[in-house]
Each structure stands twice: as C-alpha cells, then as structure tokens.
Chains A and B, each alone.
Chain A
C-alpha cells in the first residue's frame, strides 16, 4: 500500500513539475511575442546581470538605471534584471538567456558576471561596473582602448589620494593593516596597488587574508597589535562585517581608512572613494553613448570621476582627531556635528 502511495506521489511531483515548467514556457512564449510587437516601437532591451545581492552592487544597478532613463528620455527602455545569487554557473546561464533574448546591451555587475557575459557573446555590447581590474579579468585588451565588446567603469579606489588625505589628517602611520577575503580578486588588486603606493610614503603594509566572517575576529586581534591604522578594501566579506571591524579598531584607538562610503557609515574614520550609485550613473552615461552609436571597443574604461570624501564625525571624536575646516567643507559628513 505504502509503496503504491509513494509511486503515486512521485508521479504527482513529476507532473507538477511538468505543469509548472509547461506554464512557464507558455509565459515565455507570451513574453517573446510582446517583445516582437514592441520591436516596432523601437524598445531598447538591456539585460542586467548581477552576481549577488549586495548594497554596493545594488547601488551600481540603481544608478545605472536612473541615469539611462534620464538620458534616454522619450525612448522605451526595458530592463531585464537577473541575479545569480552568488552562484557562478547561474551567471553563465543568465548570459546565455540574454543572448537568446537578443538584448541590445548587457550591463554586467562584478567580475564573474562580466566574464560570463563576455564568454557568451562577442557581439552584444557589454557595459561593466564594479570590476576592479578589467584587464586582468581578460575583458579588455587595455584600459584606454578595450578592443572588445566590453567597456564600462572600474571600481578601483583612488588609493594614492586616500593615503595623501590620511597624511593631511595628521595621521602618520608606520604600518597599515589590510584585511581582505582571499576569494576576491578585486581585493587582491587593491592590496597590490596599496603596497605599491605605500612604498612612496614609506609606509609598511601588513596584510591579513581571511575566508569567512568567523575568521575575522581572531585575525583582527593579532593584526591590530601590529599596526597603527587599518585599511578596509572594497570587499564583500569586509563590507558585511564592517561595523564589527571598526568597533574593534576603535577600542584600540586605531583609525580605519575605508575604501567606500558604506565603510564610513559603518564607523570607519574616512574615505575618499567610490560611490557605487555614482559609478552606476557613470556606467549608464557610457551605455547611453553606446546606444547612440559610439563604438564600444574604443571607449576607455573609466574610474570614479568624482571620488568624494566622507568623514565620520563620531569616530573622529572618539579618536580625538580634529579635522581641518577646509577638509570638512568639501566632505560629506556622517554622524553628529
């Protein structure tokens, strides 16, 4: 009896899947139909492929959409938004589906999404964002003339300017700690640049690589004893534990230099850096240039045009750092005045 039941339930499951997928393909047909209809009205389809849900990446997406809708006013822009939920094989599938849908442009957010898109099509223009080093990722031949169907914005922070600002704030560290996730290529790139730049200032870099949130606490205890300032890179793992990192550093009166605004909101002393909303907008402007006929393979990769200074006043007060009025005036201030 029981066996019969299970066979029956198995069959039901199977059919429910078939029905489900059946409905889906029906929906799909309907949507392709409407796509064909709308082709007459010259709708522009932009496939957005994002690797994971993450505040910075979400901002890069929203900024892009905002600016493109502003610039292309009057035109019908349709966004097809897909998120790979952190699974790289999904990113590949998303790219394939965009190719199938014959989208006019792909907007790929973060390195694996961009690589999957580039692997799938060499024809559809791909605008990228939040890719720190597009050359190392194999997406473009060089920064100034990509030579491929890829261009867009890099989120490489202006590390040299950050260090200059650090000195301007009268913080003169001998050693700066750098904590990062070893899985993220973007973070490695930032570490390399920081090491290179720090040489010119005579500052040593002490790097600590972690692989999960749980390793941060232990590692940080050791690291904070060796350094007199801490640098937090644009790194997904670091972003999600930023409050913890900054409070630990504050306990030892160690200033934290964040790579992005979100870090300052999370308690880091200051940043001069990438605002992903702005970066997304910048990508949107580039996308618009491509839509109006500019050749993407000759469009230079851009970095953040207006890196902005953000200062956390609460943190400054706890550290006992007084900030010059001239700096305060050009900065975005976070916390109580």
Chain B
C-alpha cells in the first residue's frame, strides 16, 4: 500500500513540472499551447536516446530541457512573427514534432531497462526524496524568476499587452520567452517520466494537455483557500497535480469499469470546470484590479 502511495506521489510530482509549464502558457501568458503533448515526448525521446548512448542521465535532463526550449520558441515564433493564431501554431508544432520525435528515437519505443538512469535505483523512498528536492528546487527558481523584471513583464503580457507595449517592452519577445520556458519545463517532465517508467514511447504524451489542465483546475478549486495564507500559485499547481494523480489512482483501485473510465473523468471535469465558468467573470475583474495595482506598484519601483 505504501509503495502505491509513494509512487502516486512520485508521478504527481513529475507531472507537476509539466503542470507548471502549462500553467505558464495557459494561465500566465493566456496562450492555449497545444504543442505540449508532443514536447513531453520530445523530452522523453532526447533523454532516452542520450542515456542509451552513454550520456549522464542528469545531463540528459538538461538536453531535454533545451529541446523543449527550442520547440517552445518555434511555437512562439510561428505565432508572433508569422502571425499564425495561437491554437494553430501549437497544433503545427505538435504535428511536426511527431516526426522529429520518431527521428530522435529512431523507432517508436525505446527501453532503458539495461541502462543506469536516475530511477534505476528501485527504492521508492529514494525516488520520492529525489523528486521532492528536485521539484522544490525548480519551484524556487520559477518563483524567483517571476520576481525579476523579466518575470514581472511576462506576467503582465498575458494580462494587458497594450500596456506593456506602451511601456516600451517588446511583447513578442516575451511571448516567445514564455512559451520556450513552458515547453522546456514540459520536456523536462517528459525526461523524468521516461526514466521513471523505464521506457520511452512515441504515444506517451497523448492526453497530457487534458490531464495537466484538469490537475491545474482541480488544484485551484481544492486549494484556493490556501492562497490566503500566502501559498504561491506554483505550490498550488504542484499540490493539484498530486491530488489529481491520487484521484486517478483511486479510480483505478476501485476498479471503475474500464469502458466507463473516460466518461467518469469527463463528468468530473464538467463538474469542476463548470464552477470555473460561473465564477470566472467576478474573478477576472478582481484579477484585473489586482493587476493594475501591481502594475502601478511596478512603475513606481522602476521610476
């Protein structure tokens, strides 16, 4: 039993890194980036092939991160330079990456059973400890980043582009940066997951966008009150991801009839998302107000 809980926690943590990336594109940049289904696999592919070729597994994580950064920049460039709508540029990159991922791996499935990687140590406690430290480390970096000038501007880009342009910032450049970052995190998560499950498969990213969004929304619903105590959004995304994996693991445990599983998930989503629609108008107004306060303060800081 404890093993199952530990591994659910571990999965929750790994997917929370992808969740953080998707939070940046969907929530902060307000950019529905669909390319992540493929960038997750890109991260996995790069790690798998490099580990098989003798690259240190930690370095393979960094390589995956770069792969994701590049993929994200391409989505961004397609959108801002080629003026393709946001959804389409994400879809284009998603489609294109499919072939790229196959090229990277050379075939559709690679295993890491005979190699040494981060999770080849079988101890669940060790795996979990590593993941907790790693995720917290990333969270601290991300939180810090969003307190720098670039981070502040990035946040404002999703809220009020005109204002940022008026301030003399190049909105396009910040969008590309944000998307690169988002996809970098997703690829990093893919790299960790491929090592965790011991193999990489071309179809492993399918459905990531749905599960990540579900976990973000569920996290926001379930842990919304924590915000009052000064808990950051990044922590809520991480908690949400763990919570979501917990529900999923339970659903599998209870043995929901397999053919009904998708419907149950969909109904759960409707239940939770529809609440989001009902209160979104109010929340948005509050958000905007907060945002303008924050921009005022920001200007004062820099004047």
Contacts and interface: CB of A to CB of B under 8 A. Distances in A.
B199 A93 contact: no
A87 interface: yes
Interface residues of A, number: 48
Interface stretch (A3-11, A249-257, A328-336): A3-11
Contacts of A184: 108
Given A10-B275, A183-B202, A119 B108 contact: no
B109 to A, nearest CB: 4
Contacts of B255: 80, 82
A96 interface: yes
A27 B250 CA distance: 11
Interface stretch (B2-10, B75-83, B226-234, B288-296): B2-10
Contacts of A97: 4, 249, 252-253
B206 A3 contact: no
Interface in A1-49: 2-3, 5-6, 9-10, 13-14, 17, 21, 24-25, 27-28
Given A100-B4, A119-B197, A85 B261 contact: yes
A138 B196 CA distance: 15
- Secondary structure at chain B's binding surface: helix, strand, loop or mixed? helix
A111 B204 CA distance: 13
A241 interface: no
Contacts of A116: 197-198
B258 A85 contact: yes
Contacts of A10: 221, 224, 275
Nearest to A192: B107
A77 interface: no
Contacts of A119: 113, 197-199
A27 B253 CA distance: 10
B248 interface: yes
Interface string B236-278: 0000000000111110111100110110000000011001001
Interface of B: 1, 3-4, 7-8, 11, 15, 98, 102, 107-109, 111-114, 122, 193, 196-199, 201-204, 206-207, 211, 221-222, 224, 246-250, 252-255, 258-259, 261-262, 271-272, 275, 278-279, 282
Given A17-B247, A211-B98, 13 more contacts: A24-B253, A53-B258, A80-B255, A82-B255, A85-B262, A89-B204, A92-B196, A100-B3, A115-B197, A119-B113, A138-B112, A182-B202, A185-B108
